[in-house]
Structure 1
């Protein structure tokens, strides 16, 4: 009789080979798992009754309110990309810093951070910056490898700087894993870890990465100034002095306000990630509508003012009318909220009409293109979730999870060695697999085990720290050849004089920077845990 654990790891290897061969992710995971479940049943090492958990798992995914944030954040990001916010930011930041040595590289990093906090879509960010900045940087005499590495690395910041789809999905997986870990330890009133905690924990590490990128660029400028020269100030006379800074403020104000509205409402506890994602989707739509016709922007501005008023009323009053006792002041606040809702609805309707009638460079209606992209990306994510659930059920049913737990618990070096091994495995898998496969295959298996293990100080592992370590590691997978998606995105829009080897060599320093960031988080976990502790006490 074959050892079921051996069968389990043959299944894992088969899935990896099929994924690297280019087969669709969701169908590969589900199909491989089902085939090995049937094989295991035929060999009498797997009970098909375990598959009855699969429909319930799908139902749990369908009713998971946290995951509703995924299509809303995707909609927000695609809408902002289509409304050309990135183009304005890149153009104005280039003018602001271009006269400094390395200024264009600094601009790309800053814009990458702003787009990460407002869109969070790696593909759109890399493509936009590749189309706009890469030809300019090469034409201005920048080293091709520095230019390629800067654009690819800055584009991946959307994976770690909240609000991030990766953090939403990782937070959902860690929440389940943390509860399972506590149940296994006999704790039946478990603490929770939420997406809010991961958002708060990821903010400082994300900004730290931006700072490390810029420090590397400064060092590059000092060592090789000819590779990142300053450019002459070519601003037109109409953009001199105060007029220029007014245009900079105009380009920055909208995305910064959207970031504050979305991320701020999550961090201060005013809204859940799903509710904040709804605010972001509406805000992005109104911003696109305003950009379409700024001369007649008053309906949009009215809607924005009404949205701000509603957020303020929600924070200050209990607006539920179905209560036994409602004070006169609260009735006035409820009435004001109704009026503000009508104003917001008017602004949203105007924005939707404008984006529906607005055609982009390809002749597509912006709203239709945004909805199609959102549907395609969301369907891909949720189909992968369903396939990964089947894979996890079969992997656990064959005894793979028990074997992994035994290996991790018996490693010389204890908990830290186990974490190091998991980080190395995730890093290596990032060379060949997408972050979604790693999140849904590896995290459900190893996270419950790691979160039960005892740390050197006698306590258990902080789930926020573990989540941020995994998130930074997953971000690196976008940059590591041969299957780093940021590299593919940049290769697709790079000018002819940029070779694939220029891109591969350019990202090497930034991969090492991200590994250095992981080392800093290892020795300074407070970078990830301080803000959640300050905001939520955990």
Structure 2
């Protein structure tokens, strides 16, 4: 019966959507009706409202309108979703202020003389509008009203003209900032958590180990990373569109002729191009550049975009009038002023004003911020007074945002109902039962999303399908794909939903503004080529995941909050780089170690001598141990050839057996709760018991198919694999032990002058406490002890101060005893300085030279962050997907 109600849920949703019922109410309505019917049927004809639910019970799922709905409501306040109204406001403001119209007209004149130039200009403007507005309907309507008549006048092929406009208008779905990407990032965030749990469980079941290595974990994503990941694929799609139009024009010039306009390339026109292009490009740079540079979060970038769009609208609405550009000029001057302040004075903090220079920086910053506020309010006032533009934009923003959020809430309720009737289990079993592993599953999911795009909008697909299939795909260790790559691939696929008949929204928008001479069938013909190009782009991005993963990795590793080199996720790629460095510079490294071992360290304290000598000795082991890693890795690769078929066969059988075990456990609950006092009837209990027997037989039959030699083969391969793991662990311990003494010695010797300066202050303290009250003396000694403690390697010196403070804090302070302890401190300090200052002069330069040779290899893990060039190499390495399935 669960399958019946699951089918009813899908049919109700399809009927509601097909009959034109609003999506925002069709999704939750279908869920509530189906849950209600199932509960009522169970109450009337069976054992109770819970009878026909796969998991939980009717009361749990009926509460979707109360407790579950409340949970969904609070989830809608997630930080990621705040960016949606900001980017919607930005897009509608730019469209209402006719900046999009200016771009279309100007670019059409600029590209006109090129074969297919009008079409190329539409794609170019579509990409710019995508990066500034992201509103498909507004973009398609604007281009349909302005560009379509011009293209038809110049004898463009009707299918090419309409297809170009419809496809270019959809670029806003993949080129950031995009609402689709924000929603996908939000949905994938929870999917990553589920996938992480699934992978952890898989690792435990496969290996028996309780904890999974953190470098095998599923990597999460954010809206900012989705924006970065989609940037290059978006450019690939734009390039494909342009190449297609240019090629079409060259092959069939009559269908896409060049348009030559007299007097186009004049100084006045050049100025027009500059004023039309530069502000939107500057806004794109501020919004996307701030995200890429790590200066702003997606929400902050959205606020920048909204304010920037309002400032641009402020001068565009007053174009031709005196002082039209004054607010914008004020804003630009203020931003330049802030840039100058930050460049010359650094970060300005009103709580840390100490010098006159800080005061000057604060005053300049306040002036700049004041000018920015004036520019914003002035522009806002203009947009409000000119045809009430601001109010109209805010109303449209509220409508669009409300629609998105209501659909999110409704889709979450639909997903809850889908899971209530076992839909998620069915999907999981179907996908995992497919031959071909991850890529078969992935292709089926992509095909389903593509087909759904014929009937559903992008939001419904993103919030209904993604939460169900994403955890399954992300948990698979064979492909080990990143969440950002999966999100961008789904985003590219969803983009086709705007073009695919019969419900392609871009086609509806264009049909509404196209003249009667344009037939609907021509529009359908026109989009076929562009749908094909989108699928080609999908294939390119699928084959080259670096297009998606590189920019997020690069941004992460070069940001102020970059993960340290000891981060487990970085080790594999770092060790590949270090191996190459050892191969190239191994002799230089060994020579540096030999030179360091020959240094005279006889005057250093015994412990420091011992640590340094041990560190140099250990450093010699690094290169052989790295070679051992490569040998072990090669051994694993060789053994994997024969092992992989066994592994795939057995893990598939075990996975199916675990699925049966899970079903047996659910049926066992029915058996245990059946009877006169239970919630299930005796008949239901008997049926469940019989079903358990059948399933047990099926499970045993599956496990019997495991080859007899599997255990021996697995143990042999596990031993080879463990040798590689141990080699890597041994190498990491070795290089850490080799480099740590160098770091400590450098820190000790660099503070020799600082320690020498403190000597006289301790002597002054010795005299001062003679006339101090005990409490004041304790405070003064504690302060001095803290200052000494900030210097590396001063534990022996601090002992005297510690004892002196303890004496003065006792019930019977003894000034003479405290003074004697301070004398001990002074004596220890003098003895310490006798070797420390000599070593700072003689030994420190040699250690620094040694460090410069090994800090990018042996000492890399101990650095605060990766050097920029190595960070870029690691980002490139991390951008490919690495199969880790043999570890499971």
TMscore range, shorter length: over 0.9
Matches within 5 A, 1:387-536: 387-456=410-479, 460-536=480-556
Q: 1:229 to 1:397 in 2, by over 3 A?
A: same
Q: Distance in 2 between matches of 1:532 and 1:119?
A: 22
How much does 1:526 deviate?
1.6
Matches within 5 A, 1:233-382: 233-235=261-263, 240-294=265-319, 295-296=322-323, 297-307=325-335, 309-310=337-338, 317-319=346-348, 321=350, 328=355, 333-359=361-387, 365-382=388-405
Q: 1:477 to 1:72 in 2, by over 3 A?
A: same
From 71, 81, 91, the equivalent of 1:56 is 71
How much does 1:94 deviate?
1.1
Q: Which has the higher contact order (CA 8 A, sep 6+)?
A: 1
What residue in structure 2 maps to residue 362 of structure 1? none
How much does 1:474 deviate?
0.6
Deviations 1:59-113 (A, max 9, x none): 1212x12111101100000000011111111111111111222111111010110
256-265 vs 331-340, which moves further:
331-340
TM-score (norm 1): 0.93
Q: Distance in 1 between matches of 2:337 and 2:197?
A: 43
Q: Secondary structure at the match of 2:39?
A: helix
What residue in structure 1 maps to residue 222 of structure 2? 194
Q: Distance in 2 between matches of 1:332 and 1:174?
A: 47
What residue in structure 2 maps to residue 131 of structure 1? 145
How much does 1:276 deviate?
0.5
Q: Distance in 1 between matches of 2:462 and 2:472?
A: 15
Q: 1:216 to 1:312 in 2, by over 3 A?
A: farther
1:45 aligned to 2:52? yes
Q: Secondary structure at the match of 1:185?
A: helix
Q: Distance in 2 between matches of 1:319 and 1:184?
A: 47
Report if aligned partners of 2:219, 2:483 keep a CA contact under 8 Å in 1. Answer: no
468-477 vs 326-335, which moves further:
326-335
TM-score (norm 2): 0.57
What residue in structure 2 maps to residue 152 of structure 1? 166
Deviations 1:351-406 (A, max 9, x none): 111111212xxxxx211211111111011001111111111112122221122111
How much does 1:452 deviate?
0.4
What residue in structure 1 maps to residue 13 of structure 2? 15
Deviations 1:320-355 (A, max 9, x none): 656xx6665666545443332221111111111111
Q: Secondary structure at the match of 2:76?
A: helix
Q: Secondary structure at the match of 2:156?
A: coil
Report if aligned partners of 2:218, 2:482 keep a CA contact under 8 Å in 1. Answer: no
Q: Secondary structure at the match of 2:395?
A: helix
How much does 1:268 deviate?
1.2
Report if aligned partners of 2:225, 2:552 keep a CA contact under 8 Å in 1. Answer: yes
Matches within 5 A, 1:219-238: 219-235=247-263
How much does 1:292 deviate?
2.4
Q: Secondary structure at the match of 2:430?
A: helix
Report if aligned partners of 1:318, 1:330 keep a CA contact under 8 Å in 2. Answer: no
Report if aligned partners of 1:54, 1:393 keep a CA contact under 8 Å in 2. Answer: no
How much does 1:57 deviate?
1.9
Root-mean-square deviation over aligned CA pairs: 2.0
Deviations 1:464-483 (A, max 9, x none): 11111100001000000000
Q: 1:312 to 1:17 in 2, by over 3 A?
A: farther
Q: Distance in 2 between matches of 1:146 and 1:391?
A: 39
Q: Distance in 1 between matches of 2:486 and 2:353?
A: 45
Report if aligned partners of 2:137, 2:509 keep a CA contact under 8 Å in 1. Answer: yes
Q: Distance in 2 between matches of 1:497 and 1:156?
A: 23
Report if aligned partners of 1:416, 1:455 keep a CA contact under 8 Å in 2. Answer: no
Report if aligned partners of 2:232, 2:547 keep a CA contact under 8 Å in 1. Answer: yes
Report if aligned partners of 2:341, 2:365 keep a CA contact under 8 Å in 1. Answer: yes
Deviations 1:225-274 (A, max 9, x none): 10011122134xxx643332222111101100000000110111111111
Structure 2 runs not aligned, ≥5 long: 43-50, 201-211, 558-877, 879-888
Deviations 1:283-321 (A, max 9, x none): 000111111235312233212332455577679855565
Q: Compare CA radii of gyration and give the structure with the larger one.
A: 2
From 77, 94, 99, the equivalent of 1:85 is 99
Report if aligned partners of 1:183, 1:190 keep a CA contact under 8 Å in 2. Answer: no
Q: Secondary structure at the match of 1:451?
A: helix
May I ask how many residue pairs the two structures share in their alignment?
A: 522
How much does 1:39 deviate?
2.5
Q: Distance in 2 between matches of 1:395 and 1:311?
A: 53
Q: Distance in 2 between matches of 1:313 and 1:500?
A: 58
How much does 1:122 deviate?
0.5
Q: Distance in 2 between matches of 1:467 and 1:110?
A: 25
What residue in structure 1 maps to residue 115 of structure 2? 101
Q: Distance in 1 between matches of 2:235 and 2:171?
A: 9
Q: 1:386 to 1:221 in 2, by over 3 A?
A: same
Q: Secondary structure at the match of 1:258?
A: helix
Q: 1:508 to 1:341 in 2, by over 3 A?
A: same
How much does 1:407 deviate?
1.3
Q: Secondary structure at the match of 2:498?
A: coil
Q: Distance in 2 between matches of 1:230 and 1:287?
A: 32
Deviations 1:464-514 (A, max 9, x none): 111111000010000000000000000000012111111111111000111
Q: Distance in 2 between matches of 1:310 and 1:33?
A: 53
Q: 1:206 to 1:59 in 2, by over 3 A?
A: same
What residue in structure 2 maps to residue 25 of structure 1? 23
Q: Secondary structure at the match of 2:501?
A: coil
